[in-house]
Chain A
Amino acid sequence: EDQVTQSPEALRLQEGESSSLNCSYTVSGLRGLFWYRQDPGKGPEFLFTLYSAGEEKEKERLKATLTKKESFLHITAPKPEDSATYLCAVVRGSYIPTFGRGTSLIVHP
């Protein structure tokens, strides 16, 4: 069975304090991994797709990386508006995404 584990469950940072969120997975035949941001009471917002180990993508203060077993979402010098829950999802042969439980990030000013 596909497993997607995100850590930590919750993370509190001071504004400007860089950190990383982890998404580890056990999936055979990974086709892709997605990162989303979800604000309270809203639907997830697409951030990145990663297809193969070694791939990296960046958007503003966020950078996503992928290895054969895990993905990291690096947040550089975060701001309070980066506070949200970050979800990762893996996709394999069936093309149906399996989501992790997410990491709740709070950035204090």
Chain B
Amino acid sequence: GAVVSQHPSRVICKSGTSVKIECRSLDFQATTMFWYRQFPKQSLMLMATSNEGSKATYEQGVEKDKFLINHASLTLSTLTVTSAHPEDSSFYICSASYRQGLSEAFFGQGTRLTVV
């Protein structure tokens, strides 16, 4: 299957600082990337969808100024959590699809963010 690499896998940051998470498709060009947040024993909560070269589409209730998404190339998308607070602590996962429309998405390994 296709490989999606997400870094870092774990990060601890101080409250008020910003954290950047990278998501790379290693062996395919990702036309669409998704960013999710997952709470313990909960489903994946979609935060935003991004297509290469265009602005991300955020789900209702997700602050676009707090969670900055950039999809600068067909192989890289980044999520920046700005001015992080303890309530932003969570498991963040990206996924990438190789074509628009109906396509299985391949997931990164996830990033455990802890804000202290």
Contacts and interface: CB of A to CB of B under 8 A. Distances in A.
A43 B93 contact: yes
19 contacts: A36-B107, A41-B91, A41-B112, A42-B110, A43-B108, A44-B95, A45-B107, A46-B1, A49-B104, A87-B44, A89-B44, A91-B102, A95-B101, A95-B102, A96-B46, A97-B34, A100-B43, A101-B41, A101-B42
A41 B110 contact: yes
Contact of B102 (A32, A43, A104): A32
Contact of B43 (A34, A43, A95, A101): A101
Rank and list the top 5 A-B pairs by shortest CB-CB distance, nearest first: A43-B107, A101-B43, A99-B44, A43-B110, A99-B43
Interface of A: 31-32, 34, 36, 41-46, 49, 51, 87, 89, 91, 95-97, 99-102, 104
Nearest to B103: A95
Contacts of A41: 91, 110, 112
A91 B110 CA distance: 22
Contacts of B108: 43
Given A96-B49, A101-B42, A101-B43, A43 B100 contact: no
B38 to A, nearest CB: 9
A34 B6 contact: no
A49 B1 CA distance: 13
B104 A46 contact: yes
